[in-house]
Amino acid sequence: MELNSKIPTGPLSEKWTKYKAEQKLVNPANKRKLDIIVIGTGLAGASAAASFGEMGFNVKVFCIQDSPRRAHSIAAQGGINAAKNYANDGDSIQRLFNDTIKGGDYRAREANVYRLAEVSNNIIDQCVAQGVPFARDYSGLLANRSFGGAQVSRTFYAKGQTGQQLLLGAYGALSKEIEKGTVKMYARREMMDVVVVDGHARGVIVRNLVTGELERYSAHAVVIASGGYGRVFFLSTNAMSSNGSAIWQCYKKGACMANPCFTQIHPTCIPVHGDYQSKLTLMSESLRNDGRIWVPKDAEKARLLREGKIKATDIPEEERDYYLERRYPAFGNLVPRDVASRAAKERCDAGYGVNNTGRAVYLDFKEAIQRLGKQAVEEKYGNLFEMYERIVDENPYVTPMMIYPAVHYTMGGLWVDYELQTTVKGLFAAGEANFSDHGANRLGASALMQGLSDGYFVLPYTMQNYLADQINVPRFSTDLPEFEEAENAVRQKITRILSINGDTTVDMIHRHLGHIMWEKVGMSRTEQSLKEAIEEIKQLREEFWQKVKVPNVEGMNTELEKALRVADFLEMGELIARDALMRNESCGGHFRAEYQTPDGEAMRDDAHYAFVAAYEFQGVDNEPIMHKEELKFENVELKQRNYK
């Protein structure tokens, strides 16, 4: 297999214009004859489906929840970036491009990132026209805030619910098309497999979650917009039904998985409080603007804190270790996400962690309250403090908050070319499901930008280039042997899971997998830990297929849903570990303990690892083949990040 990224020639800033001018189009009469399947209704899926519908294609959209509006894009808090330069602070497309490439630690494709920066402005225009109630100032014009990794204010926001409002905008557009009949919505359906006919993606097998029946749908092209696979770590900020199964089926059918080891760990989450915990809650990054992060200097004091014998407020100022300020005097508490996360883990591993689990550090607003006054702090962070108090039952105005890093986003995903097409023809991937724009680390407020960019402004163009060659291909019957075969395989898998009837629940195994992933493939990885992880995951996978217990009930069976997803996570975890083991460098969200500077900072190896690793499936128990897409940086200079 040869990876062809299909990047248009010419200067960076003209590539997208050139592509659009030269691509093939489908005329309106032919659009009616073509069907498109979209999996997922988050920002990328909903916006793509709505746009295809408007253009005149027949669209079938599938979502796992009861309504397209529940996709996890809805949980994004902070905002969405765009190079509008409304703040007149020197922003430009070029600068947004630079920041994104640098933030991604030089592991993203230049052409894609530039296109993303280019269309970012159209996204804001589009969303405002849809009635998204972005924050405004008294002039009536749009307000901006600043975010990590940038020196300009380019983030547009709608209170702390930007993701919700953008998703509801896209959901509105989708609803409009559903009403018109161009889009057909299938809710409570989970994709079980993609059907490939003669090398082209031609349909999907889905499970109707209400009836439990398997259903077949055919189309001329399939778009995967099913989000990331962060729940391979069990505990994450992802929603409960977020999963990697859709992309995993694509991988098994020949699409390559790219950079799977690039996972983002967010430093400010509410810590784990017990084994029964199901998910973690993110606290906005903005808290680090005024909060100071510390642990006790004395490990003995930390032990007493863990045992609940003393309180954080009992520790005097001189016995507190503000370790970020100590290690990174220039950036202090505002170092990037990956750096802050690793530093917290380092302290906790060394025995200075607090909370009954020892897996937390303090985020203290005492100094800010003294400096700004309680009211000012309340105005800025009131809703976050309230959220914290609701979950932890402690008043952060009085006792310092406890935070700990948690898995948040996966930069890796299906390998796609410039057209967002995977290595399987007619199979496209958008949003978090693809790998394309964030390199090894995603900047805050860029996920929403990428999802909508792919859905509104990239796929509607690039898919036509593919579909223009499909106008003579008649609609497919779902009776083809390929459909039959795919459905049977899914049915067999389900029957096999139901017949095990062991003594372990799906969640127990998932929790165990999460533990392996977090401890050995988490924030800090070593060759040894990764090798162990690969073995342990293999064992756990065997255990799953021997011991899992899934009740055999007709119709709705939520345990079966979970089991099918965990079965895929058990394979995916291994690939993540393999990729991390292959990448002998530290970059962005991927930190290999062997590759660090003497003072503990990440050490990138541009000479050997400036490439995208795309894996080709060779069977569950065989090592996949790795293909390399070399990354060429013609417009930015590669630099080592330094926050001291």
Partner 1 sequence: MNIKLKIWRQRNATSKGKFVEYQLNDIPAEASFLEMLDILNEQLVLKGEDPVTFDHDCREGICGACGLYINGHPHGRFKNTTTCQLHMRKFKDGDTITVEPWRSEAFPIIKDLMVDRSALDKLIQAGGYISVHTGGVPDANAIPINKHKADLAMDAAACIGCGACIAACKNGSAMLFVGAKVSQFALLPQGEVEWADRVQKMVARMDELGFGSCSNTYVCQAECPKGISVTNIARMNRQFLAAKIAEPIKK
What is the footprint of partner 1 within residues 192-251 (CB under 8 A)? 210, 237, 239-241
> Can you tell me the distance from the alpha carbon of 155 to that of 148, in angstroms, rounded to the nearest whole number?
10
Nearer Cβ to partner 1 (274/308): 274
3-state secondary structure of 327: helix
Who contacts 112 (Cβ-Cβ below 8 Å, separation ≥6)? 418, 436, 437
Least Å from the CB of residue 50 to partner 1? 7
Q: Provide the residue type at 27 as one letter.
A: N
Q: Is 549 in the site for partner 1 (CB under 8 A)?
A: yes
Distance spanning both ends of the chain, measured CA to CA: 43
Least Å from the CB of residue 526 to partner 1? 32
Q: Is 27 in the site for partner 1 (CB under 8 A)?
A: no
Query: Which of 559, 571, 579, 629 contacts partner 1 by CB under 8 A?
Result: 559
Query: Which of 1, 10, 27, 66 contacts partner 1 by CB under 8 A?
Result: 66
Who contacts 144 (Cβ-Cβ below 8 Å, separation ≥6)? 84, 86, 87, 153, 154, 155, 156
Q: Provide the residue type at 243 as one letter.
A: N
Who contacts 632 (Cβ-Cβ below 8 Å, separation ≥6)? 110
**Alpha-carbon 630 to chain mean position:** 23
Q: What is the full DSSP assignment across 119-164? A: HHHHHHHHHHHTT----B-TTSSBP-B--TT-SS--EE-STT-HHH
Q: Is 273 in the site for partner 1 (CB under 8 A)?
A: yes
The token duo for 425 is: 């023809």
Least Å from the CB of residue 346 to partner 1? 26
Q: Which residues of 420-524 form beta strands (DSSP E)?
A: 427-429
Query: Which of 31, 33, 69, 327 contacts partner 1 by CB under 8 A?
Result: 69
**The residue count for the chain:** 644
3-state secondary structure of 567: helix
> Can you tell me the distance from the alpha carbon of 445 to that of 239, in angstroms, rounded to the nearest whole number?
18
Least Å from the CB of residue 617 to partner 1? 29
Considering only residues 150 to 169 of the shown chain, the ones binding partner 1 according to CB under 8 A are 158-159, 161, 163-165, 168
Nearer Cβ to partner 1 (70/207): 70
Considering only residues 496 to 515 of the shown chain, the ones binding partner 1 according to CB under 8 A are 503, 505, 507-508
Considering only residues 115 to 134 of the shown chain, the ones binding partner 1 according to CB under 8 A are 122, 124-131, 133-134
For partner 1, how many residues bind (rule: CB under 8 A)?
83
Least Å from the CB of residue 506 to partner 1? 8
The secondary structure of the chain in percent helix, strand, coil, rounded to multiples of 5, reads 45, 15, 40
- What is the pattern of x (binds partner 1, CB under 8 A) and - over residues 313-352? ----------------------------------------
Least Å from the CB of residue 270 to partner 1? 10
DSSP code at position 349: I
| Residue 504: strand pairing partners | 548
Considering only residues 134 to 153 of the shown chain, the ones binding partner 1 according to CB under 8 A are 134-142
* Residue 337 annotated as catalytic: yes
Query: Which of 92, 94, 208, 281 contacts partner 1 by CB under 8 A?
Result: 281
Considering only residues 452 to 471 of the shown chain, the ones binding partner 1 according to CB under 8 A are 456-457, 460
| Residue 207: strand pairing partners | 190, 214
Who contacts 343 (Cβ-Cβ below 8 Å, separation ≥6)? 323, 324, 327, 335
Nearer Cβ to partner 1 (124/287): 124
Of the candidates 327, 337, 541, 565, the residue annotated as catalytic is 337
> Can you tell me the distance from the alpha carbon of 134 to that of 591, in angstroms, rounded to the nearest whole number?
36
Considering only residues 592 to 611 of the shown chain, the ones binding partner 1 according to CB under 8 A are none
Stretch that binds partner 1, among 28-36, 278-286, 332-340, 516-524 (CB under 8 A): 278-286
Q: Is 86 in the site for partner 1 (CB under 8 A)?
A: yes
Stretch that binds partner 1, among 31-39, 321-329, 547-555, 606-614 (CB under 8 A): 547-555
Considering only residues 365 to 394 of the shown chain, the ones binding partner 1 according to CB under 8 A are 390-393
Residues known to be catalytic: 337
